[in-house]
Amino acid sequence: MELEAAKMIGAGLATIALAGVGVGIGTIFGNYISGSLRNPAASAKVFGNVLLGFALTEAIGLFALVVAFLILFAF
């Protein structure tokens, strides 16, 4: 197998994590909206945790993207 083809396959496999990130962000905000509709008084208290979950999930996506770029351009 050529090196360029292996790079493309590796970068494609590294970006599979971005699909998981999309599902995770949708789950986080979907559950937040569901919970805030059930108990509007608690929505302000939970919003900080929602933002923390969003930031950590998005960081995983950025790490996966950096790994894909490293595979493509650094090796």
CATH number of residue 58's parent domain: 1.20.20.10
Structural tokens at position 49:
């945790």
Domain range spanning residue 57? Answer: 3-73
DSSP E strands, the chain: none
Q: What angle do CA 23, 27, 29 make, to 5 degrees?
A: 120
Comparison of pLDDT for 50 and 75, the residue scoring more: 50
pLDDT range class, residue 52, cuts 50, 70, 90: very high
The structural domain count of the chain equals 1
Over residues 42-46, mean pLDDT = 92
Helix (H) or strand (E) holding 12: helix 3-14
Q: Tens digit of pLDDT for each residue in 23-37?
A: 999 999 999 999 999
